[in-house]
Chains A and B, each alone.
Chain A
Amino acid sequence: MTEVLDFKPAVTQAQDVLTIRDLKAYYVNDMFGVRREVRAVDGISLTVRRNEVYGIAGESSSGKTSLIKTLAGAIRPPMRVVDGSVNFSFGDTHIDVYAEPEKMKAARWQNLSYIMQGSMSVLNPVRRIKHAFNDFAFRHMGLDRRAFRQRVESHLQKLGLDPNVLEAFPHQLSGGMRQRVTIALATVCEPEFIIADEPTTALDVLVQQDVLGLLKEVQARLGSSVVFVTHDMSVHAAITDRLAIMYAGRLAEEGPTQAMFDNPQHPYTAHLIASLPRIGDVSTRKSLAGKPPSLANPPSGCRFHPRCPIAIDRCSKEVPEMLPSAIGGRVACFRAGEVAVK
């Protein structure tokens, strides 16, 4: 298993900060007397290293949010981890997330921050923004009040926000301003591990560049790790070092971002890259035929087979394993490398 996961370049002594092994996390519901399992994370193994931005892409409802909730230890019923493990290593601290929940709780404030999808909705509506900073960031930063305020203000400015927003209530800010506030909250104390779920959906492209630049800067300064989830492939192009493609609760492919764009090995990756919209293009782009599969009743064999343009008989019967790919990553496809993007 290790040699499959291990293809790191020899230049850096990369350390694994996060190791996920054969993780399965299901939503288990009893609805109308029927037990229903949504297998949103279904056998995923991956590692995230120190000093890298690790991207997770995939279509709507493929399980991206479910996966990162599970790795952040932020799950609640009806979600259940049914198999596998999640381990963090922060320096000398090693945490087995689902074996040692108390240890994880402590780490969540010390080492890890998690920007949830749509998190601008979690800001307390009756409190001014500055209180959120005082509550969440102040005690982790070891600064006096004045220095803290200065740090927060300059951080906000890098995100194109006027320091006046600190005095505002959440409803007085636009959607994109609120989204930037939550990014500022999660990054101002420069955590070792940042998890961001669709953090730039409400931003214009100029501000989006500022936000990505700031994340990259915070990450690079401390050599931290970022797990960045978005459906937007051009954002992955801009910021991630390695990229994982999720399809129906599983990984389809993972590898160095540039190589995946240049030479995708999995037909679904090739589709995602080819379908990137370009301004000035008015031709009707082909959507992928068919609907995203149901995770309560996923297709047999390779889950992509009903929509795959190059599927063969075997694909509906056997599950392709994640194996080393020709571009220094891993891929789960019987015909890996047989598609070229054009």
Chain B
Amino acid sequence: MSKLLELDHVTKLYPVGGLFSRQSIKAVNDVSFSLDADKPEIFAIVGESGSGKSTMAKMMLGNEVPNSGRLVFDGTDISTIRNRSQREAFMARVQPVFQNPFEAFNPLTRVDAYLFGTAHRFAGANNQAEKERVCDEALQRVGLSMAEIKGRFSHELSGGQLQRVAVARALIPSPKLIVADEPVSMVDASLRMSIVNLFRSLRDELKVSIIYITHDLATAYYISDRVIIMQKGVVIESGDARAVLDNPTHPYSIALKNAVLPPDPRAASAAIRLRSAAAAG
């Protein structure tokens, strides 16, 4: 069976400490998995803050190069994508949603310029009316509209609005793979459900695969087909999302699942007190 995306023993090192230090950390340590081309799926990556999730996303997008191992997208080693036209062809099929929308959008560029640029380059929209139509269609899918966004800068939108613009932008090229790094961290439960349901319909109707990086175990459970759990660069547990999250076996995965805050003030504040007390010794 042919693969849409394959990670083969991928490792990424970063130097730590000063410029002249020889120490390094393994941000991503020997990670392998693959997504089948003819079985679109939602693949969740959860785990500790600083465990290498975004680093992995950057490598999948060709923005970072592994120190060892290979990442292959649809038969092409991602690290061999060099010139502009190869890059454009790649981006037409693999689209990112970056972690923090406040960092992803340049404060001096109007937000719609990103959308129009994407519509022009990847959706063949050549005139203004066509661009606006394509962008509005994408924005409607995340509960926004061109009318709300037009002419605005990133600091003129709320956090959740900006994050949804980032998701909408990724939809415009009709990609095969979306690498979404914390795409719903700033939206409320209700909108969050509508966005993950959108992911699900992209998978089912348009055969799009989605890498879903999240700290939200509830939505990971709800929409994902498979999940990997990471800690310190290493995949400590992986498999069918429901099976893994119902019955985690690694101590860290178990601790993570148990740390999900209960939706009740008495129980939730007790959980915080307990953890503080344990940390204080």
Contacts A118-B159, A277-B193: A209 and B259 contacting too (C-beta < 8 A)? Answer: yes
Contact with A along B34-75 (1 / 0, CB 8 A): 000000000000111110011000000000000000000000
Whether A207 and B49, one on each chain, are in contact in the complex, defined by CB atoms closer than 8 angstroms, is yes
Whether B221 and A282, one on each chain, are in contact in the complex, defined by CB atoms closer than 8 angstroms, is yes
Whether A31 and B218, one on each chain, are in contact in the complex, defined by CB atoms closer than 8 angstroms, is no
Question: Closest A-chain residue to B181, C-beta based?
Answer: A175
Assess whether B2 is interfacial by the CB under 8 Å rule.
Answer: no
Whether B219 and A59, one on each chain, are in contact in the complex, defined by CB atoms closer than 8 angstroms, is no
Output the least CB separation between B189 and chain A (Å). Answer: 5
Instruction: Number of A interface residues at 8 Å Cβ cutoff, please give it.
Output: 71
Interface residues of A (CB under 8 A from B): 27, 31-32, 58-61, 64-65, 117-118, 120-121, 158, 160, 164, 167-168, 172-177, 180, 198, 201-210, 212-214, 216-217, 231-239, 257-258, 261, 271-273, 275-282, 284-285, 287-288, 291-292, 294
Whether B276 and A217, one on each chain, are in contact in the complex, defined by CB atoms closer than 8 angstroms, is yes
Output the least CB separation between B247 and chain A (Å). Answer: 11
Whether B189 and A239, one on each chain, are in contact in the complex, defined by CB atoms closer than 8 angstroms, is no
Would you list the 7 A-B pairs with minimal beta carbon distance, nearest first? A60-B160, A176-B49, A118-B102, A213-B276, A238-B268, A277-B218, A231-B188
Whether B18 and A60, one on each chain, are in contact in the complex, defined by CB atoms closer than 8 angstroms, is no
Whether A279 and B259, one on each chain, are in contact in the complex, defined by CB atoms closer than 8 angstroms, is no
Complex CA gap A58/B46 in Å reads 26
Instruction: Number of B interface residues at 8 Å Cβ cutoff, please give it.
Output: 67
- Greatest chain B CB density within 10 A among A31, A32, A232 is at A232
Whether A60 and B158, one on each chain, are in contact in the complex, defined by CB atoms closer than 8 angstroms, is yes
Complex CA gap A180/B50 in Å reads 11
Assess whether B76 is interfacial by the CB under 8 Å rule.
Answer: no
- Greatest chain B CB density within 10 A among A175, A278, A288 is at A175
Complex CA gap A305/B164 in Å reads 25
Complex CA gap A280/B259 in Å reads 14
Whether B160 and A61, one on each chain, are in contact in the complex, defined by CB atoms closer than 8 angstroms, is yes
Question: Closest A-chain residue to B223, C-beta based?
Answer: A282
Pick the contact of A288: B190, B222, B246 (CB < 8 A): B190
Residues of A within 8 A of B193 (CB): 275, 277, 284-285, 287
Residues of B within 8 A of A118 (CB): 100-103, 159, 186
